[in-house]
Amino acid sequence: GAVVSQHPSWVICKSGTSVKIECRSLDFQATTMFWYRQFPKQSLMLMATSNEGSKATYEQGVEKDKFLINHASLTLSTLTVTSAHPEDSSFYICSARGPGLTLETQYFGPGTRLLVL
């Protein structure tokens, strides 16, 4: 299957700092990327959908000024958690679709575990 990478795989930061998570599609062009958040023993919760070169569409209840998403190229999307607080601690997973793949198929990155102290 197609490969999606995330960096870093885990990060610990102090409250009030900002954290950037990168998501890359390694062997295909991702026209659409999705960012999810997952709490322990729960399903994935969609945060936002982003298309290359345009503003992300955020799900209801997700603060766009807090979770900044940039999809600047067909292989890279970034999620920046601004002024992180302990309640932002979670497992963040990106996912991607694109031409060259069956469009209805979606591949996930390995996730980034964020711990805010």
Binding residues for other proteins (CB under 8 A) = 1, 4, 6, 32, 34, 41-44, 46, 49, 51, 57, 59-60, 91, 93, 95, 102-111, 113
User: Least Å distance between CB 85 and other proteins?
Assistant: 22
Q: Is the dihedral of CA 18, 8, 35, 42 positive or negative?
A: negative
User: Least Å distance between CB 83 and other proteins?
Assistant: 26
Taking the C-alpha atoms of 12, 13, 19 and 23 in order, what is their torsion angle to the nearest 10 degrees? 0
Of the pair 38, 82, the CB lying nearest other proteins is at: 38
Of the pair 100, 110, the CB lying nearest other proteins is at: 110
d(CA 105, CA 107): 7
